């Protein structure tokens, strides 16, 4: 016999909310009631170590002196960091052959506390029993190589020109960057490929690189076999096909650890920016008119020269070059950063055979903040030695100088050459003045031949004489900044290329303003100078100053150059229908071009970032052409649980597994929700670091409940780690259970027949169950060895978060 009512409740039920009835005192400790009912055996528990979340595991418990003692797996002792050499530890982790050891035997001074109701096992280890670790150090035993998986990552962009009055051409241009791979244990197979297609030149597929890599934790290094780019710390980075073993600084804690370049430019229209390295396209994107800064590009080597092409809407192109390098070469005393590479140079153009090349570099930390730098680059007819020193000057910054001496035989003329190159680098962050300075300068002797020059991968007539880069970022106030950027390359044929930028950012009331001055200079052989000077002012006003709920902004951009050309662009951008994942950007422009008719342009772009990736759609037109633009970024993962499509990730990622729990969100990850099967991808995790994955409780449906809604993962590089969230699918029911007219005793155990999940009766015979089917049978065990069973049938659910309340009579089993 049962009576039923419906009540509105929350997605989660706290047993502490159960109140006593009939004037009895409130129940505050359910575990004390259950203590004498807990039996030894194996339980699925949530483990904390010294107050921090650690793992979720099946742990075996043994009863000793009326207390449950956990039997901890041997490998878990290692992951916790138990030090076998401590006099308080009675276990040798290297020689122990048992699968698990009782905590009071292995570490007698350690303690444990088991909360049977929440299944939380709290372990406490004195510091004397643990290995000494830095505050931010994570032992390699905790690193997760992830699950076997096949990955297909894609970043696509394209345009469809439907009208072009200038050259009567129209058609499509498409570009796709693929990053495909296979993960098996610590091994990673990767292939980087591009697909480009245009109406005029057809379709071209190019494989940029294929390689196998894995981490070597004991060496804090990474092994790469296949296509690789050598270290750019001392020599220009080159591409080889062979073997490479290099230090991986990501494995080293930040507290003792020793760069992606920022590409800046100015677009006069809706433009395409193409970045090449070693003549290969490594990045391509569409940008709106105005100054742009690209900081999310991952170069395929650690140093070198980037060639940047800004392709305007009218087909005109602007070419820039930018060198980049890192000051992470400086090492602490006793630390060694090294790189060993051997294989065939795969970009030679003069010789029919690819030369064998060997390169070794090392940076070793000496006393007094000195770092010794050395390296060798060697083939049959090219050899270069490099020796240098780096200094940490404290508040004065970091400085390094190295000199390379090369001896070579030119491939075409067989002429013997010898020359030197001197490189200076300086970097400083001054906290007192809030300044950041980075400077690089290289001077080449007349007879110096670079590796690329020797093998014909560079134009020898364009051999560099000197080059420097300078960037300064200065905070004037908390809201005002100034930046200066300079890039200059001088060549032996007396030509040179120079690029300068000066910018100022400051708010004026609610309006954000920026001023950018840019100068591009090219000097040809006759000394003729080509100047491209430009002034740009940008204003942005958040519309929330008029409506606090508004998530939109208006902008005005004005540009002017010394040729008399000018442009004014009015923009509006923000969220569509207050959606965080759906944004838009629309612009109207008017431009004055010297010697030509004035022009007008308009554009609109939309962006959607959801569970299955990111989609961009746009349209722009001016007096000469009409064009659609589009983009698609995402990733497909095939794993033992099936196939999952999600957002693109360039590194490690988590596969959230919550079978049966569809459309459940993940906190702090925009647009990430589980698919119809309960799986999704959490992109861009930090390798060798703690990453918290949390279920968004507000997104959990009424028929879904989780045993835990957060977990920590520590992936190795490019790993696919499993974030498991077992979900209970079914109704939430609050039964009031009685037998022979009396409520079931407090603390009695209950379970659904054919289920291993355990529930407990609260005060007044109240029994809260999650994941209940619409109809089923309950089995209830009481502390006096009595047991009973009850059959129930639930009514149709109503409301967004209904909890069904039912009175239930339990009969004899």
pLDDT tens digits along 43-95: 888 899 998 888 888 899 999 888 889 999 998 998 899 999 899 999 888 88
Domain count of the chain? Answer: 3
Q: Could you tell me if 684 and 783 lie in one domain?
A: no
174: left (phi over 0), alpha (psi -120 to 50) or beta: beta
Predicted local confidence at residue 786, as pLDDT? 79
* Domain identity same for 595 and 617: yes
Judge if 713 and 735 occupy the same domain.
no
Write down which residue in 725, 759, 785 finishes a domain. 725
Residues 773 and 737 both lie in one domain: yes
Separation of CA 404 from chain center:
36
In this structure, the number of other CB atoms found within 10 A of the CB of residue 599 comes to 16
pLDDT band at 257 (very low <50, low <70, confident <90, very high): low
* Whether residue 637 is found in the same domain as residue 737: no
Residues 137 and 83 in one domain: yes
Percent of all residues in the chain with a pLDDT value above 90, rounded to a whole number: 43
Tokens coding 450:
């670079």
| 67-71, 483-487, 598-602, 693-697: least confident range | 598-602
In 3D, which of 218, 55, 199 has the Cα closest to residue 140?
218
pLDDT averaged over every residue in the chain = 85
> Per the domain annotation, does 611 fall within a domain?
yes
Q: Is the pLDDT of residue 26 over 50?
A: no
pLDDT at 221 over 70: yes
Listed residues 693, 725, 757: the one ending a domain: 725
Coil vs helix vs strand at 120: strand
Determine the Cα angle at 468 with ends 467 and 469, to 5°.
Answer: 140
**Domain annotation covers residue 76:** yes
Cβ-Cβ contacts under 8 Å for 378 (sequence gap 6 or more):
357, 358, 359, 384
**CA 467/CA 601 separation, integer angstroms:** 39
Does residue 191 carry a pLDDT above 60?
yes
pLDDT the model gives residue 35: 52
- The answer to the question of residue 601 being in a domain is yes
Residue 18: predicted pLDDT = 38
343-361 mean pLDDT: 81
Check residue 512 and give its pLDDT.
93
**Residue 783 within any structural domain of the chain:** yes
Residue 794 and residue 651 share a domain: no
- Mean pLDDT, rounded, for 497-503: 91
Pair (582, 694) in one structural domain: yes
Q: State yes or no: pLDDT of 42 exceeds 90.
A: no
Provide the 3-class DSSP secondary structure of residue 360.
strand
Sign of CA dihedral 160, 164, 166, 168: positive
**pLDDT score of 19 more than 50:** no
From residue 424, give the alpha-carbon distance in Å to each of 437, 438, 486, 718.
14, 11, 16, 34
Using pLDDT thresholds of 50, 70 and 90, give the confidence band for residue 12: very low
Does residue 547 or residue 35 have the better pLDDT? 547
pTM above 0.85, yes or no: no
Confidence band of 349 (pLDDT split at 50, 70, 90)? low
795 pLDDT above the threshold of 80: yes
Residues 720, 798, single domain; the answer is no
Structural domain of 638: 149-167+565-725
User: 520: pLDDT confidence band, cut at 50, 70 and 90?
Assistant: confident
Give the least confident one: 108-112, 421-425, 509-513, 759-763: 759-763
pLDDT band at residue 17 under the 50/70/90 scheme:
very low
pLDDT at 781: 87
CATH number for 51: 3.10.20.410
Which of these three, 696, 725, 754, is where a domain ends?
A: 725
What pLDDT score was predicted for residue 5?
A: 35
Whether the per-residue pLDDT at 186 is higher than 60: the answer is yes
Whether 121 shows a pLDDT value over 70: the answer reads yes
Taking residues 580-605, report their average pLDDT.
88
pLDDT of residue 635: 96
Residue 251 lies in a domain: no
Q: Which residue has the higher pLDDT, 36 or 633?
A: 633
Q: Please give the pLDDT value at position 398.
A: 85
Q: Is the pLDDT of residue 461 over 90?
A: no
Q: Counting beta carbons within 10 angstroms of the beta carbon of residue 761, is it exposed (0 to 12), middle (13 to 18) or buried (19 or more)? A: buried
Structural domain contains residue 66: yes
Which residues lie below 8 Å from residue 435, measured CB to CB, with a gap of 6+? 428, 429, 472, 473, 474, 475
Q: Are residues 773 and 759 in the same domain?
A: yes
In this structure, the answer to whether residues 15 and 93 fall within a common structural domain is: no
Residue 126 falls inside a structural domain: yes
Cα separation, 108 vs 102, whole angstroms: 9
My answer on whether 595 and 738 are in the same domain is: no
Q: Considering the domain boundaries, does residue 314 fall inside one?
A: no
């Amino acid at each position: 016999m049962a009576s039923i009512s419906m009540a509105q409740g929350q997605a989660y039920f706290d047993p502490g909310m159960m109140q006593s009835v009939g004037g009895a005192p409130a129940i505050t400790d359910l575990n004390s009631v259950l203590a004498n009912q807990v039996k030894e055996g194996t339980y699925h528990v949530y483990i904390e170590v010294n107050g921090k979340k650690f793992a979720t595991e099946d742990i075996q418990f043994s009863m000793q002196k009326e207390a449950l003692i956990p039997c901890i797996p041997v490998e878990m002792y290692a992951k916790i960091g138990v030090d076998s050499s401590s006099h308080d530890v009675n276990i040798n982790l290297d020689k122990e052959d048992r699968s698990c050891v009782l905590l009071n035997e292995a570490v007698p001074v350690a303690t444990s506390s088991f909360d049977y109701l929440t299944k939380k096992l709290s372990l406490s280890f004195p510091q004397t029993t643990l290995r000494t670790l830095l505050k931010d150090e994570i032992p390699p035993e905790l690193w997760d190589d992830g699950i076997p998986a096949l990955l297909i990552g894609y970043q696509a962009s394209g345009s469809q020109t439907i009208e072009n009055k200038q050259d009567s051409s129209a058609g499509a241009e498409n570009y796709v960057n693929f990053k495909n791979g296979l993960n098996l244990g610590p091994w990673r197979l990767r292939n980087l490929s591009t697909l480009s297609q245009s109406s005029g030149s057809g379709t071209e597929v190019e494989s940029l690189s294929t390689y196998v890599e894995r981490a070597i934790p004991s060496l804090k290094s990474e092994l790469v076999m296949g296509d690789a780019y050598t270290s750019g710390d001392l020599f220009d980075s080159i591409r080889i096909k062979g073997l490479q073993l290099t230090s991986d600084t990501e494995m080293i804690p930040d507290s003792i650890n020793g760069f992606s370049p920022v590409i800046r430019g100015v677009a006069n229209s809706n433009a395409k920016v193409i970045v090449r390295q070693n003549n290969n396209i490594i990045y391509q994107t569409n940008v709106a008119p105005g100054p742009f800064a690209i900081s999310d590009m991952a170069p395929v080597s650690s140093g070198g020269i980037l060639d940047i092409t800004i392709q305007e809407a009218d087909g005109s192109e602007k070419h820039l070059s930018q060198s980049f390098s890192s000051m992470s070469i400086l090492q602490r005393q006793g630390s060694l950063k090294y790189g060993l590479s051997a294989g065939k140079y795969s970009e030679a153009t003069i010789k029919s055979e690819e030369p064998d090349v060997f390169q070794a570099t090392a940076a070793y930390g000496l006393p007094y903040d000195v770092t010794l730098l050395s390296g060798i680059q060697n083939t049959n007819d090219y050899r270069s030695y490099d020796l240098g020193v780096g200094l940490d000057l404290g508040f004065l910054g970091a400085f390094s100088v190295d000199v390379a001496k090369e001896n070579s035989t030119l491939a075409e003329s067989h002429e013997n050459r010898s020359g030197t190159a001197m490189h200076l680098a300086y970097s400083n962050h001054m906290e007192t003045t809030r300044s950041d300075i980075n400077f690089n300068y290289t001077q080449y002797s007349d007879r110096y031949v670079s590796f690329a020059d020797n093998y014909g991968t560079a134009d020898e007539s364009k051999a560099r004489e000197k080059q420097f880069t300078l960037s300064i970022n200065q905070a004037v106030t908390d809201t005002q900044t100034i930046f200066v950027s300079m890039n200059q390359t001088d060549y032996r044929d007396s030509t040179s290329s120079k690029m300068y930028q000066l910018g100022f950012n400051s708010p004026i009331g609610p309006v954000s303003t920026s001023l950018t001055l840019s100068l591009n200079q090219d000097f040809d052989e006759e000394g003729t100078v080509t100047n491209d000077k430009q002034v740009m002012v940008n204003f942005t006003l958040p519309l929330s100053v008029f409506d606090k709920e508004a998530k939109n902004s208006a902008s005005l951009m004005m540009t002017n150059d010394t040729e008399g050309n000018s442009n004014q662009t009015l923009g509006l951008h923000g969220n569509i229908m207050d959606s965080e994942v759906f944004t838009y950007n629309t612009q109207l422009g008017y431009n004055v071009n010297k010697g030509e008719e004035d022009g007008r342009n308009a554009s609109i772009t939309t962006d959607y970032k959801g569970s299955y990736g990111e989609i961009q759609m746009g349209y722009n037109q001016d007096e000469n052409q009409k064009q659609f633009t589009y983009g698609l970024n995402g990733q497909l993962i095939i794993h033992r649980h099936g196939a999952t499509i999600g957002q693109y990730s360039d590194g490690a990622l988590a596969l959230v597994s919550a079978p049966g729990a569809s459309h459940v969100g993940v906190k702090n990850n925009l647009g990430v929700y589980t698919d119809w099967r309960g799986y999704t991808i959490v992109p861009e995790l930090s390798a060798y670091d703690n990453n918290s994955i949390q279920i968004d409780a507000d997104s959990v449906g009424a028929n879904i409940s989780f045993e835990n809604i957060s977990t920590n993962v520590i992936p190795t590089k490019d790993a696919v780690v499993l974030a498991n969230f077992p979900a209970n699918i079914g109704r939430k029911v609050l039964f009031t259970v009685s037998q022979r007219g009396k409520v079931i005793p407090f603390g009695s155990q209950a379970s659904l027949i054919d289920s291993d999940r355990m529930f407990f009766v609260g005060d007044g015979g109240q029994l809260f169950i999650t994941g209940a089917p619409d109809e089923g049978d309950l089995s209830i065990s009481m502390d006096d060895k009595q047991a009973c069973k009850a059959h129930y049938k639930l009514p149709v659910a109503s409301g967004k978060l209904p909890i069904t309340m039912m009175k239930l009579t339990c009969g004899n089993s």
